[in-house]
């Protein structure tokens, strides 16, 4: 009896369902006017400038529109650029570092025997905190390393085998947006400002970033590098892409040095062709703003000098690679000694990683323009300030 009641109830439910289906009026597929909004299919992912009539721009399409509103193109494109050849980072000559105390002059000997025995030196290189010599040979004697100089003389020094290998970017065409690099590991935030939530991700040191928006927060510029992804200029540097010829430049080639962002960019025929990070003058040894021209070039050039009255900061650097003088003693050149790109560090010169200096040296010509600018306005612009200042590497 109980089983019979169950079957009876199931039969009633089925009858009600069938009756409802048969009595429902069919929806006309051709009548989009009467079609409820929620019955339209989702649009394919893409950017729609007008609301489509036959699909809903929701889901992935809505995300694309939101990304586009941030100034980020869809689809996102890589920069039209690549790093120069890796072998450009090799130095033009072998270099050795003087490891004597910075308070001791370096004896220079006529022969290896004199150097080994500590005989009478033919001359000395003054005491200093940073001394490097160009070498053509080396010998190990009783745990000491002696190197032969290009002059044939001998000194005690240790060859260097490592230097910064960072390289900038060579462009096939001008990018549509600004870009740059992290100069230290840079945390990513969901919004500008250090009080904003972090994404849990970061940009590794010297990794390229593309910049789609710029704003100010907490005393720094903040860069939008992806959807809801912001980094601070505290640990990143920006190349401001500007193909406008600087006032006073004749011809179609110029090098721009941005002191506020610590970047160098090269332009030719109205296009960006190269960009990289640099280090510039540490106050008060500023890199002077202005418009200059390359007047002398050397594949390897010696540099020496001091800025303090007691000469305790004396430096002696042989074979500074790919040096191009443009403003008195100020030059664009490569660096084989320890360097941190993206900061003030030099005695007024513009320091590059060797691979970048090599590329730029091959591209540039005597007479090419060098436009040095500081958008922040923090660098003195009065030429009188730089009178009598002995600039250096």
What does the DSSP 8-state code read for residue 379? Answer: S
pLDDT at 110 over 70: yes
CA distances from 271 to 165, 175, 180, 258, 389 (A): 26, 9, 17, 17, 35
pLDDT digits 0-9 by tens, 178-236: 999 999 999 999 999 999 999 999 999 999 999 999 999 999 999 999 999 999 999 99
pLDDT at 51 over 70: no
Q: Which three-class secondary structure state does DSSP give residue 131? A: strand
Mean pLDDT, the chain, integer: 88
Ordered alpha helix ranges (H), the chain: 2-23, 60-69, 112-117, 354-363, 383-386
pLDDT at 68 over 60: no
CA distances from 14 to 2, 20, 26, 157, 275 (A): 19, 10, 20, 97, 74
């Amino acid at each position: 009896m109980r089983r019979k009641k169950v079957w009876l109830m199931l039969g009633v439910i089925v009858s009600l369902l069938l009756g409802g289906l048969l009595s429902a009026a069919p929806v006309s597929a051709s009548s989009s006017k009467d079609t409820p909004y929620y019955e339209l299919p989702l649009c394919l992912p893409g950017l729609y400038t007008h609301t489509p009539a036959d699909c809903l721009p929701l889901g992935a399409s809505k995300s694309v529109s939101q990304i586009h509103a941030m100034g980020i193109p869809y689809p996102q494109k890589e920069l039209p650029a690549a790093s120069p050849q890796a072998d450009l980072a090799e130095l033009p000559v072998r270099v050795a570092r003087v490891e004597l105390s910075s308070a001791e002059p370096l004896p220079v000997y006529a022969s290896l025997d004199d150097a080994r025995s500590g005989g009478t030196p033919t001359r000395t290189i003054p005491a200093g905190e940073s001394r490097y010599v160009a070498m053509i040979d080396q010998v190990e004697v009783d745990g000491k390393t002696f190197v032969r100089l290009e002059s044939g003389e001998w000194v005690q020094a240790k060859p260097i085998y490592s230097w910064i290998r960072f390289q900038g970017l060579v462009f096939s065409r001008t990018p549509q947006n600004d870009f740059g690099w992290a100069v230290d590991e840079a945390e990513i935030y969901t919004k500008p400002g250090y009080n904003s939530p972090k994404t849990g991700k970061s940009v590794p040191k010297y990794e390229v970033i593309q910049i789609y928006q710029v704003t100010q927060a907490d005393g720094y510029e903040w860069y939008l590098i992806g959807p809801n992804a912001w980094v601070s200029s505290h640990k990143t540097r920006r190349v401001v892409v500007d193909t406008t010829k600087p006032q006073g430049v004749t011809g179609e080639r110029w090098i721009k040095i941005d002191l506020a962002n610590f970047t160098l960019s090269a332009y030719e025929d109205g296009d960006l062709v190269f960009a990289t990070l640099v280090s510039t003058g540490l106050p008060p040894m500023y890199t002077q703003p202005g418009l200059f021209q390359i007047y002398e070039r050397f594949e390897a050039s010696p540099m020496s000098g001091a800025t303090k009255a007691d000469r305790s900061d004396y430096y002696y650097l042989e074979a500074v690679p790919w040096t191009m003088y443009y403003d008195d003693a100020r030059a664009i050149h490569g660096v084989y000694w320890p360097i941190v790109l993206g900061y003030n560090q030099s005695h007024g010169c513009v320091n590059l990683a060797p691979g970048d200096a090599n590329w730029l040296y091959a591209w540039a010509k005597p007479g090419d323009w060098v436009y040095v600018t500081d958008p922040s306005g923090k660098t003195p612009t009065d030429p009188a300030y730089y009178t009598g200042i002995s600039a250096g590497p």
